[in-house]
Amino acid sequence: MKPTTQAEEDALRTIREIQDLISTIEKLRTETEIIDRLIHDLNQGYAPKEQDLKPLDLTPQPLTLLKLRLRGIQETKKAALFEHESKFRDKKELLEDIMRCPVCRGHGITMKRVYDRSDGRITTIAKTEICCQCGGTGRREMSDYIKDLMRLLPIN
Ligand SMILES: [Zn+2]
């Protein structure tokens, strides 16, 4: 499915970036959980199994050394997690901005100045109207394909 407008192209690219960020964040969360458990086990005096160390590129080694290595890896993973979560929030905001109706900026209503002569003088008054672009939804018109992708994003 090809995007047909600039907004759809931007939305599609941002959705893909968010999908990538979500899978990286999930991976980092799992890894930090595993490392937390390994450090906990080490503190209890249990040597970790080789199969638990392999995904972290670690080989069995003296426990004190292993604990130091794990703490170092954990720090790096947590910093990466923090960075990706912050990028995720930025992209989420960007996507919300892209999806907003460009005419009413998401309010669903527009203000219109009209002339009023009811009291003999001409005055202007502000009248609100349902936005003619989005019909009051505040959302930008997007293809069903993009709307489906949006629904599948676990961001709400
Ligand atoms: Zn609108």
For residue 156, pLDDT beyond 70: no
Mean per-residue pLDDT, 11-38: 95
Tell me the C-alpha distance between 7 and 11, whole Å: 6
pLDDT for res 7 = 94
Can you state the angle between helices 63-99 and 6-43, rounded to 10 degrees?
160
CA of 110 to the centre of ligand 1 (A): 8
CA of 7 to the centre of ligand 1 (A): 15
pLDDT-derived band at 6, boundaries 50, 70, 90: very high
For residue 125, pLDDT beyond 90: no
Q: How many domains does the chain have?
A: 2
CA of 134 to the centre of ligand 1 (A): 4
Instruction: Determine which of 39-43, 47-51, 102-106 has the lowest per-residue pLDDT on average.
Output: 47-51
Asked if 79 and 108 sit in the same domain, the reply is no
| Opening angle at CA 37, ends 31 and 38, nearest 5 | 90
Per the model's pLDDT, the better-predicted residue between 95 and 112 turns out to be: 95
Domain coverage including residue 30: 1-100+141-156
Q: For the whole model, what pTM was predicted? A: 0.81
Asked if 59 and 82 sit in the same domain, the reply is yes
Asked if 22 and 94 sit in the same domain, the reply is yes
